[in-house]
């Protein structure tokens, strides 16, 4: 079940406006994830991820890798 939750959180962070270059804190990441899930829902976040992979696959791969790592750190514990 944790893997599914991590997937949803990663998609939500991916869909957010938070950028890796901002070096966001865990609190900023958690806030962004919750805001995106509230705003778009799980399906809406997944749709944005799919669209970006379709339009910009070269960039999407790196962003998702960062999002997964950031979510693991922000929600650890």
- Average model confidence (pLDDT) across the chain: 96
Average pLDDT over residues 55-62: 96
| Tokens read off for 2 | 């944790």
Average pLDDT over residues 42-50: 98
CB atoms within 10 A of CB 35: 14
Average pLDDT over residues 2-8: 93
pLDDT band, residue 2 (cuts 50/70/90): confident
- This prediction has a pTM of 0.94
């Amino acid at each position: 079940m944790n893997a599914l939750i991590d997937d949803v959180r990663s998609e939500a962070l991916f869909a957010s406006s938070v950028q890796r270059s901002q070096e966001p804190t865990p609190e900023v990441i958690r806030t962004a994830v919750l805001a995106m899930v509230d705003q778009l829902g799980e399906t809406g976040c997944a749709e944005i991820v799919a669209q970006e992979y379709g339009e910009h696959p070269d960039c999407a791969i790196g962003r998702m890798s960062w999002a997964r790592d950031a979510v693991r750190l922000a929600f650890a514990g």
